Structure 1
């Protein structure tokens, strides 16, 4: 079995283990979802936010089964793009790849903006304040003063880009250390917080009914995006057939359990209505407990935790673009590697672009568009698995998705429900993004593609 140019051209070094992949997945997911989305989701679902997280995780789990089957068969860089290329053809692959570029690139920028908010809050506690004009994207601050550029968000993106340019071995060490720290802090939040839960805050459990749970899940979905970035590392994994399914499903399961636990404890300590307008919900929860040392630890963990999300999303973006360039759909410069086997041009080019976006685009403008790109990729991946089962039932599969003709369509339905729960402006923005992508495809990619079908 051969993917599109998977065995030709530039190659990447195999240095990642199963443990690295699980930590890579946790690095992508444990961060913004817990430290930011918990408050926003509570406004929509109330105490039933825990169910919203589990519904969003279920949608991701179905997609993860699809990714796992393909990752065990096509262990090369490119994630869903490469898998759809091998099954649904070039145009479908382009749509998936273009959607994932939006997911990874905008997510890295969005989390950088969130990181900037926590970082400036920490500096403010120390009596240090940045000039207002450099504190946020163009617009007006809460005080009415004019802002022009989010300098901390831009700088942190460039720092992460520098780390990635040093090599995957160095990047994974950085990620693994920070992941262990932030997971330990999240567990402490649950263990300490459970003693301060007031049962009356959890009643009624579903104040907005099932529609509130679904609405909360559409937002909570943002907390899980990035697990698919694990599959982008396939070409750098020592034993991809065994390690990739474990990395994808293992990190997702751990994250879902953490999110549901934190949601229950948080809404049990603070009435859900009091989360409205709160940017640091977990810090609010801990402040209500009076455990001061944990309050400061949570703020530091939020800053460290978001760093790994930025790193993994940027890493996934560079490997996706590397694969698309190697197949001829993007300029060849983006798939060239240096003597350390790092795609330097794509790493620095994309990292710099994300840094500029983080500097000038507000967080709210980015979030839902990220979800839409991810859902589109998941839908096509959920279609691809049953299609390949029909076309090539003879292929050896180290990992097989159970009941593909049931779970595949179910995944499509859940993703569509979540997509239609997003704002109509998000649909317009996504359609515009896809229109630009298709114009580029027909103007450049179609003429330069080096097609190699599944054999």
Structure 2
């Protein structure tokens, strides 16, 4: 074999090398890099609800109904929930078999190889960093709205060295960063209180909204399909599927229901974040599946009730005419403007807990990647007192706060969806692979009808990805190219799995 062929074969082997499940579990117990198991099934269920019941429940459904699906937005929510549920089954099987931090990154490393694991970890960083910054940004916006409602005259935007800065996101991110450093259990207790309050507000809004329901507003349930604005100017705003097939961009009808599902999928993001806490859960084999499925069931019911109240209160055309449709738009239209105050407070409280869970999830993914050497190892050190990754939590907090406080990060909303869906696709495929490579592995939860359901999950998630805009795909491709460059420049050479294979680790570290 020539030197060039040998080098190529070595490169391919390095990209496909996997990390054994036993090694992942052993690394999680490495002194100085351990997390403390303190969370219960209830904590996980509330974590899922905390990150899913945010601004999306008040605004994303209204936008999907007005711009895409009409009253059939309920079908969009069902399709998104089914897709999320199938993917979450795959997460639950992995989480109960490999109860360590890292979520999709760790699962992919055990099945599909190091390079794909890096890519999915890079995608998770995109999802969680962008989501954290976007939600923190909206928290600042709704803080100013609440100030106006209660006639509190405090400017929420100030000038710093000639730059416009929203101080709200910096404050809330700073508070939760400090709280997370103190320990996951303490953070979970605070999260539980806030989440129960916002669920109560959502239930109140649903009850009031249903009191204004008119059956005629559900007709037509699926509005006839209509073309959106055409022309070359719309290339970047139409879905990749429409662009690739040459289909005329359309809203309403079946295409609108599908586009609505791709949009409201944003509202279900967060249950993969719950899986990142696997290393901090008591009795993970039992607790993780219960917590994940319980949270998903709770938010699905809430979303469907909100969609029912929303589209029953006013015709979908009222929502379509609004520049930024939300649940408040419907209440104002029926003469219940007072409810806008309740909704604004509910959104503010709702966003608060979302920020906390996203900050925690981001630091846990980075912890797993740095513990494996794909990122600098010094990042994965945990404190002796609280067993939390203090360095990583501070870095994550600073990055999210700066993005939210000084940039218009909200324009990247769809990047959150594409990052999550790409992770869902790979995890669904990885379940099938692990069933073949490790049939002997103890599994506290097993996806039923495998490999059919995991394959259906992967196909549905990929189809929803195709319904995101072409501009989102271009940005995603650029992010992946940057990630590949980082991997080949640093991660591949410093990979602990690679170093073990080359015999470059000390004996006491190569276990």
Q: Which bin holds the TM-score, normalised by the shorter protein?
A: over 0.9
Match among 216, 219, 227 for residue 263 of structure 2:
219
Residue 353, structure 1, aligned to residue 353, structure 2: no
Residue 271, structure 1, aligned to residue 315, structure 2: yes
Match among 447, 452, 473 for residue 427 of structure 1:
473
Gaps of 5+ in 1: 138-145
Structure 2 Cα separation of the partners of residues 58 and 313 of structure 1: 23
Give the drift of 1:210.
1.1
Residue 79, structure 1, aligned to residue 103, structure 2: yes
Equivalent residue number for residue 299 of structure 2? 255
Change beyond 3 A, Cα 1:132–1:167: closer
Equivalent residue number for residue 369 of structure 2? 324
Gaps of 5+ in 2: 1-20, 224-251, 502-510
Structure 2 Cα separation of the partners of residues 172 and 289 of structure 1: 38
Residue 209, structure 1, aligned to residue 253, structure 2: yes
Equivalent residue number for residue 95 of structure 1? 119
Residue 2, structure 1, aligned to residue 36, structure 2: no
Give matches, 1:245-394, under 5 Å: 245-276=289-320, 277=322, 279=324, 281-288=326-333, 294-338=339-383, 339-394=385-440
Structure 1 Cα separation of the partners of residues 490 and 118 of structure 2: 12
Structure 2 Cα separation of the partners of residues 16 and 209 of structure 1: 44
1:120 match: secondary structure = helix
Give the drift of 1:290.
5.2
Instruction: Kindly provide the CA deviation profile for residues 107-165 of structure 1, in whole angstroms up to 9, marking residues without a partner as x.
Output: 01111112122111111123345558549x9xxxxxxxx98332222322222212212
Could you tell me whether the CA contact under 8 Å between 1:337 and 1:343 is conserved in 2?
yes
Give the drift of 1:3.
4.4
Structure 2 Cα separation of the partners of residues 269 and 14 of structure 1: 46
Structure 2 Cα separation of the partners of residues 280 and 46 of structure 1: 12
Equivalent residue number for residue 52 of structure 2? 29
Equivalent residue number for residue 412 of structure 1? 458
Equivalent residue number for residue 3 of structure 2? none
Instruction: Kindly provide the CA deviation profile for residues 330-361 of structure 1, in whole angstroms up to 9, marking residues without a partner as x.
Output: 11222111121110110010111011111233
Equivalent residue number for residue 146 of structure 2? 122
Structure 2 Cα separation of the partners of residues 362 and 432 of structure 1: 19
After TM superposition, the structure 1 stretch with the greater mean CA deviation from structure 2, 357-366 or 257-266, is 357-366
Match among 228, 236, 243 for residue 280 of structure 2:
236
Could you tell me whether the CA contact under 8 Å between 1:3 and 1:85 is conserved in 2?
no
Equivalent residue number for residue 93 of structure 2? 69
Structure 2 Cα separation of the partners of residues 184 and 47 of structure 1: 25
Instruction: Kindly provide the CA deviation profile for residues 173-231 of structure 1, in whole angstroms up to 9, marking residues without a partner as x.
Output: 11100111111111122222212111121111111111111100111011111111111
Match among 167, 183, 190 for residue 206 of structure 2:
190
Give matches, 1:40-51, under 5 Å: 40-42=63-65, 43-51=67-75
Could you tell me whether the CA contact under 8 Å between 2:314 and 2:334 is conserved in 1?
no
Structure 1 Cα separation of the partners of residues 468 and 370 of structure 2: 32
Structure 1 Cα separation of the partners of residues 284 and 47 of structure 2: 14
> How does the TM-score come out when normalised to structure 1?
0.93
Structure 2 Cα separation of the partners of residues 343 and 410 of structure 1: 37
Give the drift of 1:24.
0.5
After TM superposition, the structure 1 stretch with the greater mean CA deviation from structure 2, 65-74 or 33-42, is 33-42
Change beyond 3 A, Cα 1:356–1:247: same
Equivalent residue number for residue 143 of structure 1? none
> How does the TM-score come out when normalised to structure 2?
0.83
2:439 match: secondary structure = coil
Change beyond 3 A, Cα 1:205–1:304: same
Structure 1 Cα separation of the partners of residues 400 and 68 of structure 2: 30
2:374 match: secondary structure = coil
Query: In the comparison of the two structures, how many residue pairs are matched?
Result: 445
Change beyond 3 A, Cα 1:363–1:216: farther
After TM superposition, the structure 1 stretch with the greater mean CA deviation from structure 2, 188-197 or 47-56, is 188-197
1:149 match: secondary structure = strand
Structure 1 Cα separation of the partners of residues 44 and 393 of structure 2: 20
2:211 match: secondary structure = helix
Give the drift of 1:366.
1.8
2:36 match: secondary structure = coil
After TM superposition, the structure 1 stretch with the greater mean CA deviation from structure 2, 151-160 or 336-345, is 151-160
Change beyond 3 A, Cα 1:265–1:168: same
Equivalent residue number for residue 506 of structure 2? none
Match among 3, 6, 16 for residue 39 of structure 2:
16
1:14 match: secondary structure = coil
After TM superposition, the structure 1 stretch with the greater mean CA deviation from structure 2, 159-168 or 205-214, is 159-168
Structure 1 Cα separation of the partners of residues 376 and 140 of structure 2: 33
1:15 match: secondary structure = coil
